[in-house]
Amino acid sequence: MRLDKFVSHATGMPRDHARRAIRKKQVLVDELLVTDAARHITTDARVTLDGQLLQLAQPRYLMLFKPHGHVCATTDSDHPTVLDLITDRDSEGLSIGGRLDIDTTGLVLLSDDGQWLHRVTSPRHRHPKVYEAQLQEPLDQQTIDSFAAGIMLHGESRATLPAQCQATGDNLAEVTIQEGRYHQVKRMFAACGNHVVALHRRQIGGIVLDPVLQPGDYRELTGDEVAEFLA
């Protein structure tokens, strides 16, 4: 592991701050001064910053309120990414669980724990995902019944799993699905002759988007929230 990455992960400071500390001769590796931030070290090396012993941080688990216009990718040449929103810590190593379209807002989970993210995204676990949809036309009973029965989407070889759909207001609907197919909610409504004007994800499994968060905000998951996908 690179020394600047080790220092960043162990302290939570951004990578450029870690590089600055190394250049300023604040970091020792196995009691030796090292000023090369790119130097590779073993994870069991004894690293100190200003005399304080550093240890690698525990895995990170975040919930983020994805705003409109950001993409769920680690890098993108045309659009800002959700990782660009992580400004108070090193975002390298974080991966995205439960991606959303560029124009869909709401709950996104981030972690550097690959096994945990696999539990979040694996279709076999069938964690429910709850969306709030603004529709072009009012929700009708036929659409509700079609969602419950499963819909054969264009280009697919099998119907969607049964989904719950209910009206929550004028041209508003709450949808709960157990899959994560490409543009699934939008395509399901389109197959029923309706159009999704706006889409927002409120929940994944037992984790609900914190109402305190504003678009672009994020916070650490609690121990209970992390455990939602460990059972």
Same fold, 61-123+207-227 and 128-204: yes
Strands 218-220 and 129-135: unpaired
What whole-number distance in Å separates Cα of residue 205 and Cα of residue 192?
26
Q: Which CATH class is domain 61-123+207-227?
A: alpha beta
Write down the CATH number for the domain with range 3-54.
3.10.290.10
pTM: 0.77
Which positions are annotated as active-site residues? 101
Domain range list for the chain? 3-54, 61-123+207-227, 128-204
What integer is the mean pLDDT of 16-40?
A: 94
Q: Which helix (H) or strand (E) holds 132?
A: strand 129-135
What whole-number distance in Å separates Cα of residue 225 and Cα of residue 53?
30
pLDDT at 178 over 80: yes
Write down the CATH number for the domain with range 128-204.
3.30.70.1560
What integer is the mean pLDDT of 33-57?
A: 90
pLDDT band at 33 (very low <50, low <70, confident <90, very high): very high
Note the pLDDT tens digit of each residue in 186-213: 999 999 999 999 999 999 999 999 999 9
Q: What are phi and psi of 202, to 5 degrees?
A: -105, -25
Helices assigned H by DSSP within the chain = 3-11, 15-23, 114-121, 141-149, 184-191, 223-227
Residues 6+ apart with CB under 8 A from 60: 89, 94, 110, 111, 112, 113, 220
Note the pLDDT tens digit of each residue in 10-19: 888 889 999 9
What whole-number distance in Å separates Cα of residue 55 and Cα of residue 72?
30
The DSSP code for 196 is E
